[in-house]
């Protein structure tokens, strides 16, 4: 669709600026060219930032950064880790999926530890890009999936990890892969939200609104989910095979990234284009009302948002910022 629109604009520009025979044609203006090649798009796919009850966890290219978010202080940890392409939490432990030239493993870090315990197996960890790992309601099972790796429900045995259920999917489906609460996961497939339970049960819910969704995350209650499209945020109720919209919020800007925690959604919104981008953080309650907002640094599309019931955090390049979820007051972070 974008390609077709670009061709129409190019043709229109050519017709309007064509010169009579024997004269020099006008050059296409720089403004028109920049607008077409710098269109701002939402950040989709797996996040690399997670929040626990007292820590922020960010997966960099070759390291894992763990930042305490409590008044008790503590030191930031930077843990070298290579070939990491998926991130998640199992209880209080941080888990990272490794794909080293096709050899996959799960590395598990206990709270405060810089030494992970590695366990090999057949894991749906991508070798490019990033995936997600979610706990089921069974201590010995996980969901794991990512780009070109599919989605697996896997069992953690004492000596290895083995897939016990495989789900084939495409780029749009893995881009919306998320937790659906209570050990379940969900993603958008064509005009439906697919939800898979920890026992492998598959449910589908017809999505009549939001035909081109960008993000999907767990909602404030068991059978609800937050969804975005362009400049809209929606709250869905999943019941009787339908994904019914119960709230729609006009964000006033593009929904760039989305997270949820407690009864609220945290949205990074953006305006402008990829070369000149203005952004802010909006926190919206389940009633559809804005709770608070915070300005973010301009011209940096390398941003991720994460949320919990108590904190909201944004990773901006190598910098982390955090706020109290209730009132938007800043959280003091340890020095780098």
Strands (E), 121-263: 131-135, 141-146, 150-156, 161-167, 178-181, 184-189, 192-196, 202-206, 215-218, 224-229, 232-239, 242-250, 254-261
Residue with tokens 């794991």: 144
Sign of the dihedral through C-alpha 192, 185, 131, 64? positive
DSSP 8-state symbol, 332: P
Q: How far apart are CA 193 and CA 271, in angstroms?
A: 28
Quick one: 174 exposed, middle or buried, by C-beta within 10 A (0-12, 13-18, 19+)? buried
Q: How far apart are CA 145 and CA 163, in angstroms?
A: 11
Quick one: 142 exposed, middle or buried, by C-beta within 10 A (0-12, 13-18, 19+)? buried
Helix, strand, coil % over all residues of the chain, rounded to 5: 10, 50, 40
Q: How far apart are CA 233 and CA 235, in angstroms?
A: 7
Q: How far apart are CA 271 and CA 45, in angstroms?
A: 20
Q: Which domains does the chain have, with CATH numbers?
A: 46-180 (2.130.10.10), 207-336 (2.130.10.10)
Q: Mean pLDDT per 10-residue run, the chain (336 residues)?
A: 38 36 32 44 92 93 92 85 96 95 94 92 93 94 93 94 91 91 95 95 96 96 96 98 98 97 97 90 98 95 95 95 96 86
Sign of the dihedral through C-alpha 220, 222, 224, 226? positive
Distances (CA, A) of 151 to 29, 89, 101, 177, 324: 46, 17, 19, 9, 34
- The predicted structure's pLDDT at residue 160: 95
Q: How far apart are CA 144 and CA 124, in angstroms?
A: 6
> Can you give the pTM of this predicted structure?
0.86
Q: How many CB atoms lie within 10 A of CB 281?
A: 24
Q: Please, are residues 68 and 75 in contact by the beta-carbon 8 Å criterion?
A: yes
């Amino acid at each position: 669709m974008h390609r077709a629109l670009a061709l129409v604009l190019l043709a229109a520009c050519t017709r309007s600026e064509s010169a009579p025979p024997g004269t020099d044609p006008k050059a296409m203006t720089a403004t028109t060219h920049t607008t077409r090649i710098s269109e701002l798009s939402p950040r989709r796919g797996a996040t690399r930032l997670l929040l626990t009850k007292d820590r922020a966890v960010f997966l960099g290219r070759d390291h894992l950064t763990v930042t305490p978010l409590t008044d008790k202080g503590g030191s930031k940890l930077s843990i070298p880790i290579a070939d990491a392409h998926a991130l998640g939490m199992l209880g209080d432990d941080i888990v990272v999926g490794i794909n080293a030239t096709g050899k996959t493993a799960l590395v598990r870090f206990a709270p405060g530890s810089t030494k992970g315990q590695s366990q090999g197996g057949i894991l749906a960890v991508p070798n490019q890009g990033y995936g997600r790992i979610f706990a089921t309601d069974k201590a010995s099972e996980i969901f794991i999936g990512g780009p070109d790796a599919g989605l697996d429900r896997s069992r953690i045995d004492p000596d290895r990890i083995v897939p016990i259920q495989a789900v084939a999917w495409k780029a749009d489906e893995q881009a919306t892969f998320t937790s659906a609460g209570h050990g379940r996961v969900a993603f958008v497939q064509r005009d439906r939200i697919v939800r898979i339970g920890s026992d492998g049960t598959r449910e589908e819910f017809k999505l009549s609104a939001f035909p081109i969704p960008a993000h999907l995350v767990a909602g404030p209650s068991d059978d609800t989910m937050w969804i975005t499209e362009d400049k809209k945020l929606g709250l869905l109720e999943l019941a009787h095979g339908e994904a019914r919209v119960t709230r729609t919020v006009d964000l006033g800007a593009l929904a760039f990234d989305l997270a949820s925690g407690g009864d609220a959604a945290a949205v990074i919104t953006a305006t402008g284009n990829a070369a000149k981008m203005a952004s802010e953080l909006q926190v919206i309650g389940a009633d559809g009302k804005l709770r608070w907002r915070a300005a973010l640094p301009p011209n940096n599309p390398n941003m991720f948002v994460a949320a919990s019931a108590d904190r909201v955090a944004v990773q901006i390049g190598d910098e982390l910022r955090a706020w109290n979820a209730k009132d938007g007051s800043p959280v003091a972070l340890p020095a780098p």
